[in-house]
């Protein structure tokens, strides 16, 4: 609709009188006087920025940890948005590669010179457990002397081995403190502690 001559005159008078600094100031002034149509007087809507994060928590986490998001990275949340879990994996990826293995399995591999990174785990999220690495233990020591391949085990130690499902191969490197090198219950303490620690790790993973 065309603006009347009278309205135009009033608009010009207001502009001359107020001398607004810029277009936005002029629109604000004239809108307040009722000289402008509603559509023109309304402030333009700001384009909503689409976040790449699945939540505010994820955005805050990335900022707090200073995590750089690769351009082609896609999150696991809806619409490929990035979750806190994705950010944790990105953060860990920038550090030294973390081995997904139980402490007992890692200790076992260190003690026996095994490469745990080549072991496929059977635990939660392919976590390497003690039972996964036991079969990889070198048996050259046992094979070198047939007379000592069969260890002497006390009855109390045998009960513990049955209770914790410990095989004879697992005690090859254990020095028995009993008579003639017989393995007694106390000699199995370290191995049993490792097994208990693993069970504890598995329980925490399931929780």
pLDDT digits (tens, 9 = 90+) for 140-188: 444 444 444 567 889 998 999 888 888 777 787 788 888 888 889 998 8
> Closest Cα partner for 184 from 159, 148, 150, 147?
159
- For residue 96, the model assigns a pLDDT of 47
pLDDT in the model for residue 119: 83
The number of angstroms, rounded, from the C-alpha of 60 to the middle of its chain's C-alpha atoms is 16
CB 172 within 8 A of CB 144: no
**pLDDT value of residue 44:** 59
3-state secondary structure of 97: coil
pLDDT at 42: 60
| Nearest residue to 164 (alpha-carbon basis) of 206, 121, 194 | 194
Look at residue 1 in the predicted model and tell me its pLDDT: 46
Torsions phi, psi for 89 (to 5 deg): -65, -40
Can you tell me whether residue 183 is helix, strand or coil? strand
CA 63 to chain centre: 16
> What's the rounded mean pLDDT across residues 19-40?
74
Mean pLDDT of 58-68: 82
* pTM for the predicted model, two decimal places: 0.32
d(CA 21, CA 6): 24
Handedness of CA 86, 90, 95, 97 (dihedral sign): positive
C-alpha distances in Å from residue 113, one per residue of 63, 80, 128, 135, 189 = 40, 42, 16, 13, 21
Residue 153, SS3 per DSSP: strand
Average pLDDT over residues 193-201: 81
Q: What pLDDT score was predicted for residue 122?
A: 83
Binned at pLDDT 50, 70 and 90, residue 57 comes out as confident
Per-residue pLDDT, 137: 62
Tell me the pLDDT band of 138, cut-offs 50, 70 and 90. low
Q: Kindly state the percentage of the chain with pLDDT values over 70.
A: 79
d(CA 42, CA 46): 12
């Amino acid at each position: 609709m065309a603006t009347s001559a009278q309205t135009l005159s009033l608009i010009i008078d207001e502009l001359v009188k107020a001398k607004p600094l810029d277009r936005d100031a002029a629109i604000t002034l004239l809108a307040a006087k009722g000289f402008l149509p509603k559509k023109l007087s309304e402030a333009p809507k700001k384009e909503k920025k689409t976040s790449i994060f699945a939540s505010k928590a994820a955005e805050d986490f990335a900022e707090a940890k200073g995590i750089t998001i690769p351009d082609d990275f896609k999150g696991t949340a809806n619409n490929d948005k990035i979750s806190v879990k994705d950010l944790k994996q990105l953060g860990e990826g920038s550090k030294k590669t973390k081995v997904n293995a139980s402490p007992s399995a890692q200790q076992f591999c260190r003690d026996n010179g095994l490469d745990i990174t080549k072991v496929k785990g059977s635990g939660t999220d392919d976590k390497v457990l003690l039972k996964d690495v036991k079969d990889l233990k070198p048996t050259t020591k046992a094979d070198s002397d047939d007379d000592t391949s069969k260890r002497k085990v006390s009855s109390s130690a045998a009960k513990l081995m049955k209770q914790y499902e410990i095989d004879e191969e697992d005690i090859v490197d254990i020095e028995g403190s009993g008579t003639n090198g017989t393995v007694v219950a106390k000699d199995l303490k370290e191995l049993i502690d490792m097994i208990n620690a693993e069970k504890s790790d598995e329980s925490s993973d399931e929780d």
